[in-house]
Copies of this chain bind each other. A is one copy, B any other.
Amino acid sequence: MSTPSDDDALADARAQIDELDQRIHALINERAGIALKVAEIKQAAGRTDFYRPEREAQVLERVAARNEGPLSDEAAARIMREIMSACLALEKPMTVAYLGPEGTYTQAAVYKHFGHAVLASPKPAIGDIFRDVEAGNAHFGVVPVENSTEGVVTHTLDQLVGSRLSICGEVALAVHHHLLSHAGELGSIKRVVAHAQSLAQCRNWLDTHLPGVVREAVASNGEAARRVAGDATAAAIAARAASDFYDLPILASNIEDEPNNTTRFLVLGTQQVAASGNDMTSILVSIRNRPGMLYRLLAPAADAGVDLARIESRPSRRQAWDYNFFIDIEGHADDAPVRRVIESIEAEAVMLKILGSYPRSIGRDAE
C-alpha cells in the first residue's frame, strides 16, 4: 500500500516532471524555429541540401558522447532523431522509398535513420527504388545491402554499378535468430527449416545441438515458421516476431554463430555528403585479372595505414573485364590519405567509381 508520504512524494515527482516537460517542449519549439530560419537562408541561396546526413550523424554522435543516463545512448539518440525528424519535416517534407512491403526490416531501417516524420514509400523491387530517387519522386532510397535472411545484396550491388546515385548513409540493425518449435525438447526434432542463409548463419549451433538433423531450406524464415507451426517434430529458425505470430515457443534464443549479426542497409540519394569525422567510402573497381592484381590493388591502403572494411567481388557483366570489386574504405574521400589510396587503386584499375562517402552507422537496435 502507498502511504500518505508516498502519495506526497509521487505528487511532488509528477509536478517536477510537468515542469520539465514544459521546458523541454519550449526548447524543442525554439529548435524548430531556428531550423525554419536555416531553411529560409538556404532557400534564398537556392540551396537544396535541407537534409545533411553528416550533420545529423554529428548531432547523434554528440548525444552518445555526452549522455550520462539514466537513459541509454540508444534511447536518447532515438528521441533526438525524432526531434530532428520533426524539425526537418517543417523545413522540407521528405519522401523515402524503400524495399517493401510495410513491416519489413527495411522499413524499420528507414525510421531508424530518418525518424517518423518522413513519408516512407514501399516499393516492390530494388530497381524501383533506384528509379524513384533518380526521377526525383523520392528524396532518398533505402535498400538492404547485406541481408542475412533474404540474400538480396547482389541486386543492390549490381544496380549501383550503372546508377548515378550516391550512397549517402548506412543503417545497421541487429538481427537475432531463434529456434522455434512445439517439440518441447531438442531431442524430438527431426528437421530444421529456414532460409538457406539463416541455416548457414547458425551452422555451428546446429552442428553442436542438433547433429544429424535434416536441414531444409525454404524461401523465407517466415515461411519456415508457418510450416512448422503444425508439426511438433520440426523446428524453424526465425525472428521473435514469428514466434509471437505463429504462437511457436522459443526453444533456444540467439543461436546465430556470429553474436553481432546485423543486417546492413544503404541510404541512396543524389547529393554528395561532406565529412562528418567518422565516415566510410565505398568504391567500385574493375580489374582485368584477379589473383596478383587484387594484392597490388590493396597494397597502397596497407602502406598508408588506411583500413579496408569490406571487399566484395562480383562477376562483371561486361565481357572485357573479369570482376568488379566493391571496396569499403574507412574515412572520407576528401581525407588526404583516403584520396591518395583511391588514386593509387585507380592507377592499377580499368575503372574506378566512387559510390559515395557517408557517415558510419552508429548504434544498432531492432530484433
Contact = CB atoms under 8 A, between A and B. Distances in A.
Interface of A: 1-3, 6, 9-10, 13-14, 16-18, 20-25, 27-38, 41-42, 44-47, 55, 59, 62-63, 66-71, 75-76, 78-80, 82-83, 86-87, 89-90, 97, 100-104, 107, 116-117, 121-124, 128, 241, 244-247
22 contacts: A6-B41, A9-B41, A10-B38, A14-B55, A18-B59, A21-B62, A22-B62, A24-B28, A25-B80, A29-B67, A75-B86, A75-B117, A76-B86, A79-B86, A82-B82, A102-B245, A122-B241, A123-B245, A123-B247, A124-B245, A124-B246, A124-B247
Contacts of A71: 28-29, 32, 86-87, 90
Nearest to A22: B66
A214 B122 CA distance: 29
A59 B21 contact: yes
Contacts of A42: 2, 10
Nearest to A121: B244
A136 B63 CA distance: 36
A25 B76 contact: yes
A9 B9 CA distance: 46
Contact of A1 (B46, B100, B122): B46
B24 A83 contact: yes
Nearest to A60: B21
Contacts of A16: 34
A211 B97 CA distance: 35
B68 A29 contact: yes
